[in-house]
Structure formats: C-alpha cells, structure tokens
C-alpha cells in the first residue's frame, strides 16, 4: 500500500506531465512536500507564453475539506510575486479532473468544491 505522501507525489507528477503535454514548460519542486527551510518551493511551476503559474497541488481520494496553512499560502503568493506569476491551488478528488483555484493577496477565500 502506498503512503499518502507517495500518492500525492504521483499525482503531482501526473499534473506536471499533463501541463507539459499542453505545451508548457514545467518544473516540479525538488523539495515538494518539505525539506526546504530557508525558502519556499511550490509543488509545480508552469510557464507559457507571457504567464507563469505557481501551483500548490492537493489530491484527496474522498471529497471533503482541504486545509492549507495561512503561512503556506503567504509563501506561495511571495514566490508568485517574485516569479511575476499567478498563484493557484490545484485540487483533484479521485475520479475528477484537476480544478484550479486562483489565490490573491486580497484575502483568503474559502471555496467549497461541489459536484
């Protein structure tokens, strides 16, 4: 049986491959999921003509709430600002497609994903 971290990493790789197949230049954070103390590393950075997507990816096998610490959101926004890009939370529930939720510095928006 795979650990939740391993499953999450597999889904991050699948999303990175999907974005690559769409023609974007894609990097998956080498320290995705932890290990970097001095600076934040997002799960995925995807670059296209005139845009940069900075992505925190979340996968759940069952529908429910997804919680992301405020500090992580702030670091995601800071990375996006430095990259001159846009921050997104990519959410995937088992059997569904990825959904991209934009994150802005105007505050935290709580979104409930419904079918």
pLDDT tens digits for 44-80?
Answer: 999 999 999 999 999 998 888 888 888 888 899 999 9
Residues designated as active site: 32
Mean pLDDT of 35-48: 83
Architecture in CATH of 4-103: 3-Layer(aba) Sandwich (3.40)
pLDDT of residue 67: 83
Strand partners for 88: 55, 102
pLDDT of residue 65: 83
| Cα separation values, 31 from 1, 42, 44, 61, 90, Å | 23, 8, 11, 23, 18
Looking at the predicted structure, is the pLDDT value of residue 5 above 80? no
**Which one is predicted more confidently, 68 or 16?**
16
Mean pLDDT of 86-95: 93
For residues 112 and 80, give the distance between their C-alpha atoms in angstroms, rounded to a whole number: 24
pLDDT of residue 88: 94
Q: Which of 29, 32, 14 is nearest to 92 (CA)?
A: 14
């Amino acid at each position: 049986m795979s650990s939740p971290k391993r499953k999450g990493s597999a889904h991050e790789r699948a999303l990175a491959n999907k974005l690559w197949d769409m023609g974007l230049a894609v990097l998956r954070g080498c320290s995705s999921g932890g290990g970097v103390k001095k600076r934040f590393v997002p799960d995925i950075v995807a670059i296209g003509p005139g845009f940069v997507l900075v992505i925190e990816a979340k996968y759940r096998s069952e529908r429910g709430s997804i919680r992301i610490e405020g500090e992580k959101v702030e670091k995601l926004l800071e990375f996006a600002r430095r990259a001159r890009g846009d921050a997104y939370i990519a959410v995937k529930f088992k059997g569904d497609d990825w959904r991209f939720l934009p994150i802005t510095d105007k505050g935290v928006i709580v979104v409930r994903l419904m079918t």
